[in-house]
């Protein structure tokens, strides 16, 4: 199956009131586990790579592996750039075959974010590629980017409405209390704010930093307009915990297939759990 624009996947989720996972891949095992679980559960899938993952894997390897992974499956799959930091990076990914990109202008003041996002939307839409943008700023750590909690800024609903109108973006990532990486305390989501944003904005909303957020809170967010839920850290932890456990049992282990294989199985099970509670099972 060919890659599809993320808009196709998210617009249906928005109409029917469920969410699709934006699942990050870090290596081949992540990709295989995520694709296998999605195919088994007949769920649409958004595969995404951060700039850090692209740097680690190599963009040509990403494209080659993803093409091999989707060749013989029949669920819709989008390949998405997660947290694209510049116009140039976004263009590189589009040229290489990504069907969706995120331009993350959340580090800029509102007007600059509007300007950069609009420029990306114009270029991406001309070749049928979907665009996600971010307004407000999430705290936490992702790859080499660390945002102090005091710097994090919740999304303003009025600004969200203006931002979507002026940029023509397809999906909007909102900051409502989640953070990237591992939570220190319990995350507290601002559902009131999410509802206000959803009342003003028609396009699908995206929840970043969903690892470690209790299932009931994610479900509540989905009921209030979230249609894409980003997960990376939970799968990294599933993979690494399994490998740690195996090395604890046998510190002489040296064949990577003997620990990466079980690590991959652990990710597959974790992905299935997410698909179930996001509501995308059977929607492929």
The Cα–Cα gap between 218 and 222 comes to 6
**C-alpha distances in Å from residue 87, one per residue of 7, 12, 81:** 20, 28, 12
Contact stretch for ligand G3H (CB under 6 A) within 28-36, 105-113, 203-211, 271-279: 203-211
Q: Does 228 bind Zn ion (CB under 5 A)?
A: no
181 is an interface residue for ligand G3H by CB under 6 A:
yes
Do 207 and 230 touch, CB atoms closer than 8 A?
yes
Q: Return the range that interacts with ligand G3H (CB under 6 A); candidates 120-128, 209-217, 254-262, 273-281.
A: 209-217
Residue 176 interacts with ligand G3H (CB under 6 A): yes or no: no
Shortest CB 257 distance to ligand G3H, Å: 26
Q: Which stretch binds Zn ion (CB under 5 A): 56-64, 155-163, 184-192, 224-232?
A: 224-232
Contact pattern for ligand G3H over residues 218 through 247, marking x by CB under 6 A: ------------xxxxx-------------
- Residue 210 interacting entry, from ligand G3H, Zn ion, none, C-beta within 5 to 8 Å by type: ligand G3H
Q: Give least dist CB 171 to Zn ion, A.
A: 13
Identify the DSSP state of 73.
-
Distance CA 120, CA 254 (A): 46
Choosing from 208, 228, 242, 268, the residue that interacts with Zn ion (CB under 5 A) is 208
DSSP string, 178-242: -EES--SS-----HHHHHHHHHH--SPEEE---TTS-HHHHHHHHHTTEEEEEESHHHHHHHHHH
Q: Which of Zn ion, ligand G3H, none sits in contact with 233, Cβ below 5 to 8 A by type?
A: ligand G3H
Active site residue ranges: 82
Judge whether 201 and 229 are in contact, CB under 8 Å.
no
Question: Could you give the CA distance from residue 28 to residue 169 in angstroms, rounded to a whole number?
Answer: 31
Residue pair 78/4 in contact by the 8 Å Cβ criterion: yes
- Residues of the shown chain interacting with Zn ion in the complex, contacts defined by CB under 5 A: 208, 230
């Amino acid at each position: 199956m060919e890659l599809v624009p993320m808009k196709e996947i998210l617009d249906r989720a928005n109409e029917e009131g469920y969410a699709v996972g934006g699942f990050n891949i870090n290596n081949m095992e992540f990709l295989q586990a995520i694709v296998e679980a999605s195919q088994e559960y007949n769920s649409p899938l958004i595969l995404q790579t951060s700039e850090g993952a692209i740097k680690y894997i190599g963009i040509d390897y990403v494209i080659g592996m993803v093409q091999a992974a989707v060749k013989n499956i029949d669920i819709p799959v989008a390949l998405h750039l997660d947290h694209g930091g510049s116009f140039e990076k976004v263009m590189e990914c589009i040229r290489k075959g990504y069907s969706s990109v995120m331009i993350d202008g959340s580090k800029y003041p509102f007007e600059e974010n509007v300007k950069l996002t609009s420029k990306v939307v114009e270029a991406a839409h001309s070749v049928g590629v979907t665009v996600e943008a971010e307004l407000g700023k999430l705290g936490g750590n992702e790859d080499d980017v660390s945002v102090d909690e005091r710097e994090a800024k919740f999304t303003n609903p009025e600004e969200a409405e203006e931002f979507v109108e002026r940029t023509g973006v397809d999906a909007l990532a909102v900051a409502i209390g989640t953070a990237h990486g591992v939570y220190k305390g319990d995350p507290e989501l601002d559902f009131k704010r999410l509802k206000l944003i959803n009342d003003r904005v028609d396009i699908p909303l995206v929840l970043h930093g969903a690892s470690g957020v209790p299932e009931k809170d994610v479900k509540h967010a989905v009921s209030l307009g979230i249609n894409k839920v980003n997960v990376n850290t939970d799968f990294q932890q599933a993979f690494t915990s399994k490998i740690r456990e195996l090395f604890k049992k046998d510190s002489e282990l040296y064949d990577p297939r003997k620990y990466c294989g079980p690590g991959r199985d652990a990710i597959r099970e974790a992905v299935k759990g997410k698909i179930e509670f996001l509501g995308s099972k059977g929607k492929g």
